[in-house]
Amino acid sequence: MRSSAMRDMMAITQRPEIISLAGGLPDTSTFPPELFAGEMDRIARNSVAEVLQYGPTEGLDLVREQITSVMATEGMSVDAGDVTVTTGGQQAIDLVTKVLIDPGDVLICDAPTYPGAIPTFCSYEADVIQIECDSDGMRIELLEATLAELASQGRRPKFIYSVPTFQNPGGVTLSLERRKRLVEIARENEILVIEDNPYGLLRYEGESLPTLYSLDGGAYVVYLGTFSKILSPGLRIGWIVSPTPIREKVVLGKQAADLCTSTLTQNFAGNYFERGPWRDYVDELIGIYRLRRDTMLGAMAEYFPHGSTWTRPEGGLFVWAKMPEVIDTEDLLAKALGHGVAFVPGTSAYVDGRGINSMRLNFSGVTEEQIIEGIRRIGEVAGEQMFLYETMTSEIKLPPLDDAGETKDGAP
């Protein structure tokens, strides 16, 4: 087992004096307290015995139904019977890995990948192969070459895990062409694709793309969702949509893990999505996060050292930045914490030590003022590191900078 860099940092980043650009926290302060009170009051009056009781392992029918209607807004047609409610999207990753991976099995994922998935993959002793991403997401030609190479060794990956839309951590989105090809590859090779999509509804610009699940129809794509980013991570409600043979195993895995997801929070979420103006709330979040994203991109252009590059996400919660090669972002983080600012160092998104000069920056859980100040402080400590390096070596080679200071290909 290895620890999650993000969870390790939680304790530090929750100190009030720290500006945390590290977490993936949605801004829960925007949720209307009277709406929360109204739902809880209704539960107190109508369903106390039910919400204080155990529930079915698969999840409450009301919630499974509501999950299908939320997925329908992203163009997916799903049978509620194929849904398993999980304790957050994190448990969804854990359960599919638990069910599908035996020690030593190969699984493939993005490079960089969701840092929280790495400890899960490692705890089930998977052999993790990461495929490089560029501004259009996972490079499918590299995936094909890797599959061919594995086949020549008589090996087959158990699954391909990807966050194709507004990726955590890269902020990039898999292009339509690559989506289609990935689904074809899954079919041709009979390999499962695990599509993890917490951010699809948080689009700030551009056209929506079909999910892998909708392109495939659910034959080879197992879909993972969560209410954490469009409602609340505190409720801990996620889900898996999978064909029956996998669903049955997932349910056995969940019974062993926690019997069932909280009936109290399922009731809350079920009622909220059935009744509440949830689309309005998502629209409100989109407005707030778009502004914060733009603020972050502007601050990076102003304060980050020459030679830095970064992605420009069309949605989601993260920007991925690459500093000049002389900077080790783990060292930088130690110094940045001393200056009261935190981020996730790039190495936590790789299994093999890559990402040394990269970092993931979150813009949803902090105010615009904090974003500007946080980026300014990171820029300052990075500038000091660069100066130190320069004076120690007296030679520094900087890559050419384009106009906006942004990466030319937007690659993570």
Ligand X SMILES: Cc1ncc(COP(=O)(O)O)c(C=O)c1O
Give the interface with ligand X as residue ranges (CB under 6 A).
24, 88-90, 114, 116, 163, 168, 196, 198, 226, 228, 233, 238
CB of 196 to ligand X, least distance (A): 5
Contact of 129 with 106, CB cutoff 8 Å: yes
CB of 108 to ligand X, least distance (A): 16
| Residue number with CB closer to ligand X (254 or 377) | 254
CB of 29 to ligand X, least distance (A): 17
CB of 227 to ligand X, least distance (A): 7
The neighbouring-strand residues paired with 137 are 134
Number of neighbouring beta carbons within 10 Å of residue 49? 7
| Residue number with CB closer to ligand X (114 or 220) | 114
| Residue number with CB closer to ligand X (220 or 227) | 227
CB of 287 to ligand X, least distance (A): 21
CB of 226 to ligand X, least distance (A): 3
CB of 34 to ligand X, least distance (A): 25
Kind and range of the H or E element at 108? strand 106-111
Q: How many CA atoms lie within 13 A of 122 on its CB side?
A: 14
In 200-315, where do the E strands start and end?
221-226, 238-241, 309-310
The residue among 92, 98, 41, 35 whose CA lies nearest residue 67 is 92
Residue 387 is encoded by which pair of tokens?
Answer: 């100066």
> How far lies 317's CA from each of 40, 89, 370, in Å?
29, 16, 15
**What angle do helix axes 368-393 and 329-338 make, rounded to 10 degrees?**
120
| Residue number with CB closer to ligand X (292 or 377) | 292
| Residue number with CB closer to ligand X (233 or 307) | 233
The residue among 31, 75, 377 whose CA lies nearest residue 201 is 75
Residue number, nearest CB to ligand X: 88
| Residue number with CB closer to ligand X (14 or 393) | 14
CB of 71 to ligand X, least distance (A): 15
How far is residue 194's CA from residue 257's CA, in Å, rounded to a whole number?
A: 20
**What angle do helix axes 33-46 and 263-275 make, rounded to 10 degrees?**
120
Q: What is the four-CA torsion angle of 330, 334, 335, 337, rounded to 10 degrees?
A: 120
| Residue number with CB closer to ligand X (27 or 373) | 27
Q: 123-129 long-range contacts, Cβ below 8 Å, gap at least 24?
A: 123/1, 124/97, 124/98, 125/101, 126/97, 126/101, 126/158, 128/351, 129/157
CB of 72 to ligand X, least distance (A): 20
How far is residue 87's CA from residue 257's CA, in Å, rounded to a whole number?
A: 10
Phi then psi dihedrals of residue 2, to 5 deg = -130, 155
CB of 385 to ligand X, least distance (A): 28
Radius of gyration of the chain (CA): 21
